[in-house]
Amino acid sequence: MPLDLSGQIALTALIFLVAMIYASVGHGGASGYLAVLSLFSFQQEQMAGTALILNVAVSSLAFWSFMRRGHLLPRFAWLLVLTSIPFSFIGGTMHVSSTVYKVLLAFALSIAALRLLYERRTSNYALTEPHAIMLGGVGGSIGLVSGIVGVGGGIFLSPVSIFFRWTTVKSAATLSALFILSNSMSGLAGRVVTGKLAVAPVLPLLAAAIAGGVIGAWLGSARFSNRALRVVLAAVLMIAVLKLLLTVK
């Protein structure tokens, strides 16, 4: 059902807010876009395709901004990305039932909400170098789930890389931005190849996401500390989780 003017304004404003907050931590925002689109009852395929397109735009801005500010990639970044890309493509070609999709998406949104609420207070800790086999396993598994659901995977990778002390917080943002960009493009390619790509009216949403991404990436790469906004967005994500789980059959 087409949205009325007030619905379109609300949707565009929420997409802007999601892009701004996610870009500030090096993310493209797909999980947030999916949460917002689910609240407005878009179809499953439209949600995934639209979120991936917005993800590509915003994660590109975030990656460029964090790199420009000197928050460089860790040495193992490309191995992690390269192992994830083929699995993200495979995930993008897979068709799953509405029930499986809703459960996977609810899980992804829950992780995203927890990630927004979690802030590491210090970056003064010794870093550890991950083993290549572990990188392959993490990259492949995150890539597959990301491709199925329609996200870039940063919501999973950021807490993992920080928890295991693979990166500093700022480098984790740069790594996540590259990871998200690569997997989003791969997931989109999988949908195009199989003819599954469908999108909501994307141009106004893309404009809102780019505007929010520019602001968020600048704030996040220089200085960002607005916990209230993170709490609000986490609440939106959890409302979407409840809505999804209540409609699981």
Q: Both ends of the chain: CA-CA distance in Å? A: 22
- CB-CB contact of 26 with 220 (8 Å): yes
**Dihedral Cα 216, 171, 158, 101, nearest 10 deg:** 60
pLDDT given at position 9: 93
Residue 136, judged by CB atoms within 10 A of its CB (0-12, 13-18, 19+), counts as middle
Token pair belonging to 14 = 């929420």
pLDDT at residue 29 in the model: 86
pLDDT attached to residue 28:
86
Backbone phi and psi for residue 175, each to the nearest 5 degrees, phi listed first: -60, -45
Which residues, 6 or more positions from 15, have their beta carbon under 8 angstroms from its beta carbon?
A: 33, 36, 54, 205, 208, 209, 212
Determine the pLDDT at residue 83. Answer: 94
For the chain, the residue count is 249
Instruction: Name, in order, each residue with C-beta under 8 angstroms of 139's C-beta and a sequence gap of 6 or more.
Output: 79, 80, 81, 82, 83, 84, 87
Tens of pLDDT, residue by residue, the chain (249 residues): 578 889 899 999 999 999 988 887 778 888 889 989 988 888 888 888 999 999 999 999 989 988 888 888 888 999 999 999 999 999 999 888 888 888 888 888 888 788 777 765 555 667 888 999 999 999 999 999 889 988 888 888 887 887 788 887 778 888 988 999 999 999 999 999 998 888 888 899 999 999 999 988 887 766 555 565 567 667 767 877 887 787 776
> What 8-state DSSP symbol labels residue 24?
T
Residue tagged 């059959």 (tokens): 249
Structure-token pair, residue 232: 């609000």
Element containing residue 114 per DSSP (H, E): helix 98-117
- Per DSSP (E only), the strands in the chain are none
Q: How far is Cα 104 from Cα 219, in angstroms, rounded to an integer?
A: 31
- Under 8 Å CB-to-CB from 63, ≥6 apart: which residues? 26, 174, 177, 178, 181
Angle between helical axes of 169-193 and 154-163 (0-180°, round to 10): 150
Query: Are 221 and 65 contacting, i.e. CB atoms less than 8 angstroms apart?
Result: yes
Question: Tokens for 17?
Answer: 């807010």
Confidence at residue 1, expressed as pLDDT on a 0 to 100 scale: 53
Residues contacting residue 56 through CB under 8 Å, at least 6 positions apart: 28, 181, 184, 185, 188
